[in-house]
Structure 1
């Protein structure tokens, strides 16, 4: 989900006041959507498609996976991963109020596999250079060049054959060192799944 500080371009429609987790142990749990300008949770259809892709690619095995939701917003993407039993889902969100709401929901769910980080994803990864993830999910604010800034660093944080998920305002080419696995579109949002190619030594 987008960071909430810079989202006026995302306000294509009014955000619902609540959305729900669509699968896993927390299925049907409501997620509050704060009344903040431009906040647009990833639609149910997109989340369902993404996790169908992941279930196929991982053969239904989520329990050994670590996940980074780099622009968490409502936390819909990261919480879907946690609901399906990943070992850890790290939700990074720059807006303090949104991060506080994520922490409150994590506590209410008793989701020990969720870690909420209030801050910028670039700073977070630079503070934790050894962090590695099997899946990184990027849904940054559109039109601000954030993908170009963030993608090189998150690629370094992927495990071997790690997966990168990107939502964008248009179709994008595979980042250097990756291959496109899946791509689809829902309204004005294009979403992609890339896999890291073997690193050269």
Structure 2
């Protein structure tokens, strides 16, 4: 796994050593960041990123590499926490990145943020994205109008809670990515 664009282009990220973490592929990350740069007025530049179910942190690190101001990684898994801490150290971005080892569906009140760009990549087919996004919005983690990307299995039902507007859904093989905004 590597960073595909920006300041750290080509830098390697540590990958999972066991089952349970499904990193977003380099190709899919490249496609998503191209969409963000061209269809959403470069939503990454100076963004405060919230990476829910962060896993390896690849999406948040990619955003930092491409000009995001800060990234908040949320994942309660021990292996994920280790991979994210390793990435922060290897990239030297401790002043711009923070790991919060917490269940993304039970965020509680914001300690960081508010985020302007959110990546939500939960385990597929478990309907966790709506709960995590509701918790993020309810806890004050999201800025009004925050752009949301939810990665889920193709064919999954709606992935955004009621207070979010779906902008578009794009399919990438067995994966679908829903782009949305927090209304209000």
Q: TM-score range by the shorter chain?
A: 0.7 to 0.9
Q: 1:74 aligns with which of 45, 51, 56?
A: 56
d(CA) in 1 for partners of 2:39, 2:97: 22
Structure 1 window deviating more from structure 2 (150-159 vs 74-83): it is 150-159
d(CA) in 1 for partners of 2:52, 2:88: 16
Q: Deviations over 1:103-147 (max 9, x none)?
A: 122112111311122222244x31426741101111111233312
Residue in 1 that maps onto 2:16:
34
d(CA) in 2 for partners of 1:127, 1:160: 16
Residue in 2 that maps onto 1:119:
102
Is 2:138 aligned against 1:186? Answer: no
Residue in 2 that maps onto 1:100:
82
Q: Deviations over 1:70-89 (max 9, x none)?
A: 11111111111111121110
TM-score, length-scaled by structure 2: 0.86
Q: Retained in 2: the 8 A contact 1:136–1:154?
A: no
Unaligned runs of 5+ in 2: none
Deviation at 1:57, TM superposition (A): 4.7
Deviation at 1:171, TM superposition (A): 4.7
TM-score, length-scaled by structure 1: 0.79
Larger Rg: 1 or 2?
A: 1
